[in-house]
Amino acid sequence: MVESNPTVPLRSIQDQVQKRLQVGESIHKVQRAKAIATKQVTDDYTKQYEVLRDYLTELQPTNVDTTVKLEVVNEPNSARETRQFKRVYIFLGALKKGFKAGLRDILGLDGAFMKIPFPGQVLTAVGLDSNNGIYPLAYAIVETENMSSWKWFLECLGDELELYSNSKFTFMSDRQKGLLPAIAQLYPQAEHRFCLRHIYEKMRKNGKQKSRAGSDILLNNLCEVFNIKLIHGRNKPIISCLEYIRQYLMKRICNVKKVMSKAPGPLTPTTSKLLERNREASVQYRARWNGTAKYEVYGPWHDHHVVNMTNMSCTCRKWELNGIPCKHVIATIHEMVDSGDKVGELYTYVNKVYWLQTWNEAYSYTMEPIKGRAMWPKSTSPFQLTPSRQHIQPRRPKSERKRSAYEKYDSQMHKHGGSEPENLTRKFVSVKCGKCNNRGHNSRTYKGDGGIA
């Protein structure tokens, strides 16, 4: 039961034991039994480090052009037969080729905690495909999130994607520790965007601003979506975690191919919807030709812009930013058709990254399955890997995710019937007792008769 569903609830196991074996067991005994079964299924956390080299030796030659890098902690005693694990980096060959075929030079970077006895973080690099969906690239398990680990991760990425100090690449992140100086040092010419959702949350926490940005390209959702998919893998031993990620990526390519086979084209489904929305809005606009390649486009609400068909630009800048003709450009194309000009199909004015053909090429590379552990080749390294240094985290681990400022704001809006709350603070809020329902004290200090201790 645990092997087929690692997140099976304790109550469900308790009910199944009652039905199958006609035995009633306490919830604490079920909890201990599930822990034993989970350890047998996922193997011992320490033992998986011993065969990590064997796993990487099997993974790399099975998937052509796959890059794996393993680092250990420096050991002053060279005669020692063990080496402590430090970092591991994996970039599967199919994803490497697919990303280059996708033609979109933007990457989201993020890190997430490992939920295992040994400290560590999963660093991920995620791109965008032609349908504006996530395209995961590389992943790594490092000792902690700092400048050293991010710099190492970015250097590994740069080697594979042929990035140099003068490369005009775009990175997006959530202000992770050490990431800003690492990017500034390695790729000073690259564009670095910050997720507006996290900036907004900080503004909500420190101020009273109530505006919110809604542009998805300015949000680091591509990494957030990927991290959510990995949430059940981050509590597994290291090889099980790496396999969880690899199997998800392999399955995702197959799922996208199924969607792709039903797409009519010539553009991706998401792009077709955006283009159709702009086409419907363009009906309210008129274009005037100035005798060259420029057009003056005007519409309702004093929306007035200039379109240059030679430079393929509009003063609203949407065409240049996302590569999809805006409503002003489409109105210009309609005017050119009415004037007898040869303009071609509307989709030809869309950037090629959104074409169905480009989308197909990005997912044309598949991952090869690997054999079971018993058939892995044995590593020739004379050293045996040991887990990273274990330490107990301060305070009791939280069982629930910490809500963001925006989520708190939404709950306050719902509580106030849709009206704006003054501020998200507990200041001047009277405490209510859970026993007597009186204010001024809580249930812990309840004395009786509504008094306080």
Determine the pLDDT at residue 441: 83
Residues 70-121 have pLDDT tens digits of 999 988 888 888 999 999 999 999 999 999 998 888 888 998 888 777 878 9
Q: Is 164 exposed, middle or buried (0-12, 13-18, 19+ CB in 10 A)?
A: exposed
**pLDDT band at residue 168 under the 50/70/90 scheme:** confident
Determine the pLDDT at residue 286: 95
Q: What is the pTM of this model?
A: 0.77
Q: What is the mean pLDDT of residues 284-301?
A: 94
Residues 326-344 have pLDDT tens digits of 999 999 999 999 999 999 9
> So where are the chain's domains?
10-42, 46-263+362-386, 269-354
Determine the pLDDT at residue 211: 35
Please state, in angstroms and rounded to a whole number, the distance separating the CA atoms of residues 169 and 251: 28
**pLDDT band at residue 275 under the 50/70/90 scheme:** very high
Q: Give alpha helix (H) positions in 4-102.
A: 10-21, 27-42, 45-50, 52-62, 93-102
Determine the pLDDT at residue 42: 66
Residues 4-42 have pLDDT tens digits of 677 788 998 889 888 888 888 899 999 999 888 877 776
Please state, in angstroms and rounded to a whole number, the distance separating the CA atoms of residues 378 and 375: 9
CB 218 within 8 A of CB 197: no
Q: Is the pLDDT of residue 440 over 70?
A: yes
Beta strand extents in 54-188 (DSSP E only): 67-72, 82-91, 106-113, 121-128, 134-142, 170-173
> What letter does residue 143 receive in the DSSP assignment?
S
Tokens 């074996």, residue? 21
Asked which of 3-7, 75-79, 128-132, 246-250 is least confident by mean pLDDT, the reply is 3-7
Q: What is the mean pLDDT of residues 272-296?
A: 95
Q: Is the pLDDT of residue 453 over 50?
A: no
Q: Is the pLDDT of residue 315 over 60?
A: yes
Provide the mean pLDDT of the chain.
84
- Give percent of the chain above pLDDT 70: 83
**pLDDT band at residue 216 under the 50/70/90 scheme:** very low
Q: What is the mean pLDDT of residues 262-274?
A: 93
